[in-house]
Structure 1
């Protein structure tokens, strides 16, 4: 398998395996905005290069002010980190939970980080009939028996959301049981605003709810690493107390500031492009015999037609310069599940063409 380090986007491992240069792959294993960074960002970063001779602002003040304005919240309710993964680590360090609950299938870092910091991990499972969502009553039971619960919204790898009334049910359970509930909203920006299911506007109502956001996916800056958490100020203060000074570099901060100044045109263009290309990919993958989960984010979970397994498809496509994410190792999924990013039309046509040739060749 290609996921040597547990994640997609590892073009270096692919290059060693398949004998191609990292830049020669069409990478569907990482879910990054196909439009690339907002127009003008690269020029702005070049202009900022002389700033690397000094330390970044340890208080992240300029970006904090912009994020607070964007969300209409206090700056002290925001913690900026070196990607969403650092925010998750800071939550675990601040709370030191003994028992962590996860809703499988889900982002592997929930369990990996929790175990790294000494927690027991318990799970409930979504079902294919519910597009791999779990029953809310199951999640409530998980909340009751855990110190902290992670829930993807939309979830990775299936890209589905829970309805906001269900989220309220879970948040109320978290308050009753004094359990912290983390909504990972790393991909929510790819969903049209009117379709986003989030309790963020109700932040003040739920002191035990924490939101995790990523800027690396939507603004296409994964190499810089930038994310943030939103929670009640006492929780944010606890997270910041565990943060390594200068964990967010100065170019990442500048990229975040530029992104929030980029304007609504880029954001609207991204959402429109993702919706159109996701539907194109879904229809073409169904035509090839795949079962596709109706996700709303910038990736699709699919079950390959028999006799194909995720590993053999990943290998066959990798030799052709196309990378996909095997989901065979996700608890709650099967050997034939893969995830593909939604990219631009040219790249999506390449994926469908190569998959069609591989499936037609019958190498499963």
Structure 2
């Protein structure tokens, strides 16, 4: 008997997994949430320890120190930055501040785009990516969608397929946004996991595209999802409108301390993370393909794959869940089918365990078929 683990529409719900399969949440090896396997930089843990007494005072409602560091790190002015309680709050603030009546999504994509837009009363219009394009949509299809909507969300790299649109396509879409008076929201939550030379981003060109807003997350790359921290970059006009709608002190003091420490942690952490993710992603893809999975060749710290027949995403999630390994069932993503799952890329030891269990699960299934 299978059951829905993604009751809240996201991965990382080990509490639901524990209630479904038994045991405790801490017992699960969670491949459904895409968090840096190295954990937070040591500087972050030290700063949090030293800053614990900051809980006795209110956090800075202007996020000034963190914004100053972001401004230096990103090469944009502080007036172009909005800090949020995770990237999700940045998305919500954009919708609240700009009030779009029609919101466009490219499916398959992060479910929060659709969910938040609907919460704020917008009509959703979407286009769908193509399997032969690794689940990306054709640029012309996105442009046609932009003609129909006030605001468009686009993942870069996209979740769940982990694929980037080329820079020339981004510029093309940004020009279309200007022509159609559409706000183009680029979600770059996972872009830090890609080597800097390979990142495709409009961040260096924001001055040319006032209709573009870029959202990024600190929680995934720096492994602090429990603290919730993200930010948006865009024209001062849009950032000001977002700030005016933000609840005072929505970003807590410990999150700001952690964010400041993240930005001071240096390049070594970034290099080590990217090196490990690149190595382990290649190893996982090779092993999954050897087990007859059909794998989408993405660039992020997760892998979209289709299970071999006669498995389904639900039955694979069930089988691995009983072994205390949680994966993301992607069958509910519009545009994907009943066999799609997503694996986070973790460290070597965790991946060894995943591949060992995966092999034994598949072997038992095949042995059952032969008997």
- Fold similarity call, TM over 0.5: yes
Q: Find the aligned partners of 1:329 and 1:72 in 2 and give their Cα distance.
A: 39
1:323-362 equivalences under 5 Å are 323-362=326-365
1:206-225 equivalences under 5 Å are 206-225=209-228
The Cα of 1:18 is off from its aligned counterpart by: 1.4
Secondary structure of the corresponding residue to residue 42 of structure 2: coil
Describe the superposition over 1:275-324 as per-residue Cα deviations: whole angstroms up to 9, x where unpaired.
00000000000001001100000000000000100001101111100000
Q: State whether structure 2 residue 261 is matched by structure 1 residue 258.
A: yes
- Partner in structure 2 of residue 150 of structure 1: 153
Describe the superposition over 1:206-254 as per-residue Cα deviations: whole angstroms up to 9, x where unpaired.
0000000000000000000000000000000000011000000000000
Secondary structure of the corresponding residue to residue 335 of structure 2: coil
Q: Find the aligned partners of 2:168 and 2:31 in 1 and give their Cα distance.
A: 33
- For 1:134, which of 127, 134, 137 is the aligned residue? 137
Q: Find the aligned partners of 1:42 and 1:63 in 2 and give their Cα distance.
A: 17
**Structure 1 segments of 4+ aligned residues over 6 angstroms from their partners:** none
RMSD value over aligned CA atoms? 0.8
Q: Find the aligned partners of 1:287 and 1:247 in 2 and give their Cα distance.
A: 47
1:103-252 equivalences under 5 Å are 103-252=106-255
The Cα of 1:40 is off from its aligned counterpart by: 3.2
The Cα of 1:43 is off from its aligned counterpart by: 2.4
- Partner in structure 2 of residue 281 of structure 1: 284
Stretches of structure 1 lacking an aligned partner (at least 5 in a row): none
The Cα of 1:15 is off from its aligned counterpart by: 1.3
TM-score, normalised to structure 2, is: 0.97
Is the CA contact 2:178–2:211 (under 8 Å) kept in the aligned structure 1? yes
Stretches of structure 2 lacking an aligned partner (at least 5 in a row): none
The Cα of 1:345 is off from its aligned counterpart by: 0.6
Secondary structure of the corresponding residue to residue 40 of structure 1: helix
The Cα of 1:359 is off from its aligned counterpart by: 1.3
The Cα of 1:42 is off from its aligned counterpart by: 1.7
Describe the superposition over 1:171-195 as per-residue Cα deviations: whole angstroms up to 9, x where unpaired.
0000001000000000000000010
Q: Find the aligned partners of 2:256 and 2:177 in 1 and give their Cα distance.
A: 33
- Partner in structure 1 of residue 319 of structure 2: 316
Q: Find the aligned partners of 2:11 and 2:200 in 1 and give their Cα distance.
A: 26
Q: Find the aligned partners of 2:363 and 2:102 in 1 and give their Cα distance.
A: 47
- Partner in structure 2 of residue 23 of structure 1: 26
Q: State whether structure 2 residue 87 is matched by structure 1 residue 84.
A: yes
Q: Find the aligned partners of 2:60 and 2:258 in 1 and give their Cα distance.
A: 14
Q: State whether structure 2 residue 296 is matched by structure 1 residue 293.
A: yes
- Partner in structure 1 of residue 101 of structure 2: 98
TM-score, normalised to structure 1, is: 0.99
